[in-house]
Structure 1
């Protein structure tokens, strides 16, 4: 193992995007030799990650077509991390200068919206790192050789892009690579940390830095309605892309947010009426001659984005300035019982609520096609007339001969 890592590091000095002889040698080592060696150790690695051997994912990549500056070999649960662009995994990252390799607990830098991949912002990657590190604090306390920052010395943006996604890493210098036994022990240790992250991810409805579950669900639903091929959900309700709320969980969050908002306004002397089942808004408030039409949104996320229907936007613009938007964010959702239980939450109220066009993002469009228009109908009718007349007979000059000439 140490010989293979050293071989890749030696070839890093000859990096070029072209498929030169050196890059071909590097590719064989990254895509075949290192993964094959790790597969020979799959029983111990799978045990460390808490999965069966057939559920252990091992792969290496050095670029398709053009060769990447920072090649990698990763180990993961492919259900939780279907590709290197999504989810959490443990990965060997080779520096651009070839003087060090990191064994990093890292993450994908994109999120699947249902229609395409969207790059995560650096601040979102760091927020996810900030969520993961406290989970590992106790286990990390036993090691003094861990680093929270990695330096890949890459010249390309893609190579540098791995750095903000690092949760924790072990650095190996080319001059002091440990023996295979130590390298495998370190890999098992890092996979144990990854198992902890996976376990926490299965239970949490929202990880800081992720899009809100409501926005992701709307994007996925819009993509499915439009006939876009989607990524299947995992056994955990995730596929490395973010948690998908069940109907019961959505209802629990909605009830909690309406209850919090109702208590908030009642404390201010408003008479609160829940009209959400029959109106395009949630609460009708009365206080003397005053009226307030309130839209309530609840979310387990930080509440930076919420979903509005077209009817909600149109009605709230009509009610302005006698209207309000209440966002109850950071709701805690307990999924351990038979039924989900929502609690907590922080309330933010905007009133009067003026909806500006620049604050609205289009998730999908309803497009009027030519079907049903006059010109489309004419084309259809013409085709139908041809069908009614039956197949045309070929003219004598074009008919095939009946037999040999």
Structure 2
């Protein structure tokens, strides 16, 4: 193991994005030799992570096409981190200068945009790190060789992007690489930390830095309806960054937030009527000659983004200025029992509520095709329409970005 790590570090000095002879050697070591060695230890590693042996993920990457400056080899649970861009994992990260390698408890630090990888916001990564570190206080208390910061000395943004994602790491200088027995013991220890993070993640209704569950649900539903495959559609439940609420949990959060909003307005002398079952808004308020149409959104997130339907946007623009948006954010969701239990939350009210176009982000379009049109568009005409883009498209789901 130490020989393989040394080999990669020696080749780092010859890094280039081109597939040179040196980069080919590095790729074989990263993608084949180190993963093969670790798979030979999979029984002990899987036990440390608390997963069945056949459920342990091990992979190495050094760039598809262009070679990356910082290659890596990660160990993970595929159900919690289906790709290197999502979820938590333990990973070997090789410095750009080739003078050290880190064994890091890290996370997906990029987002796939469909054409390339875009770095996640540093503040989001730091928020997730801030959530994870307190979980590990007891397990890390006796170790004096752990690093809260890593320095990869990378020249590329992608290489530097791993640094803010680090939760805790062990540093191995090139000239002080320990023997294989010590390296494997450290790896088992780090996988024990990862197991603790996974356990907490399974129960967390929302992790700071993650998109709101409601936004993720809308994006995934839209992607599924559009027939998108691969990265666009994830399995139910928690899968990397992103928690999906069950129907019972959504209803519990909705009822809780509407109840809090109703009490808030009643205390101000409003007569409150719950009209959510038949109207495109939730509460109708009356106080003397005044009338207010209130949309209520509840979320376990910090409330920076909420989902609005097309009807909600159109009606609230019609009701303005006699309208309001109430966001009950940071709701606590307890999923440990048979039925979800919700409590707490912070109410934020905006009234009058003017919906600006720049605060709306389109998640999906309904596109009217040429099929069935009475004007008898020819095939050539259809192709031209498709090339020009969805001019007739109408947004069906939108997000309201930013605190109101």
Give the TM-score normalised by the residue count of structure 1: 0.90
Shift of 1:260: 0.8
Cα deviation 1:224-273 (Å, max 9, x = unaligned): 11121255655x71221411111001000001100111111111111111
> Displacement of 1:66 after TM fit?
1.6
Instruction: Map 1:135-146; keep pairs closer than 5 Å.
Output: 135-146=135-146
The equivalent residue for 2:392 is none
Equivalent position of 1:132 in the other structure: 132
Equivalenced residues, count: 378
Alignment of 1:31-110 (within 5 A): 31-110=31-110
Q: Is the 8 A contact 1:113 1:216 kept in 2?
A: no
Correspondences of 1:1-400 after superposition (within 5 Å): 1-111=1-111, 119-230=119-230, 233-234=234-235, 237-376=237-376
Instruction: Give the Cα–Cα distance (whole angstroms) in 2 for the partners of residues 86 and 78 of structure 1.
Output: 10
Secondary structure, counterpart of 1:175 in structure 2:
helix
The verdict on how the C-alpha distance between 1:116 and 1:342 changes in structure 2, with shifts beyond 3 A counting, is: farther
Inter-partner Cα distance in structure 1 for 2:79 and 2:151? 29
Tell me: CA distance 1:113–1:272, structure 2 relative to 1, closer, same or farther (3 Å). Answer: farther
* Structure ranking higher in strand proportion: 2
How far 1:378 moved relative to its partner? Answer: 7.7
- 1:72-117: CA deviations, max 9, x gaps? 1100011111111111100000000000000000111245799998
What CA deviation, in whole Å up to 9, does each residue of 1:165-207 have, x standing for no partner?
A: 1111111100111111111111111000000111111111211
Find the residue that maps to 2:363 and give its secondary structure: coil
Aligned equivalents of 2:113, 2:217: Cα separation in 1: 8
CA distance in 2 between counterparts of 1:30 and 1:275 reads 60
1:112/1:30 CA distance change after superposition, 3 Å? closer
Q: Which consecutive residues of structure 2, in runs of 5 or more, have no partner in the other structure? A: 380-404
Whole-angstrom CA distance in 2 between matches of 1:226 and 1:113:
17
State the shift of 1:59 in Å: 0.8
- Runs ≥4 in structure 1, deviation > 4 angstroms? 111-119, 230-234
Greater shift after overlay, 308-317 or 297-306?
308-317
Residue 367 of structure 1, CA deviation: 1.5
TM-score norm. by structure 2 comes to: 0.90
Closer, same or farther: CA 263–65 of 1 in aligned 2, 3 Å: same
1:285·1:292 contact (CA, 8 Å) conserved in 2? yes
Could you say what secondary structure the match of 1:103 adopts?
A: strand
**Unaligned stretches of 5+ in structure 1?**
380-405
Contact 1:206 1:212 survives alignment (8 Å): yes
The structure with the larger Rg is 1
CA shift, 1:120, in A, is 2.3
Deviation per CA, 1:10-34, whole angstroms, max 9, x where unpaired? 1111111122221121111111111
Change (3 A) 1:212 1:114: farther
Q: Would you say the 8 A contact 2:220–2:234 is kept in 1?
A: no
Does structure 2 retain, via aligned residues, the 8 Å contact 1:85–1:108? yes
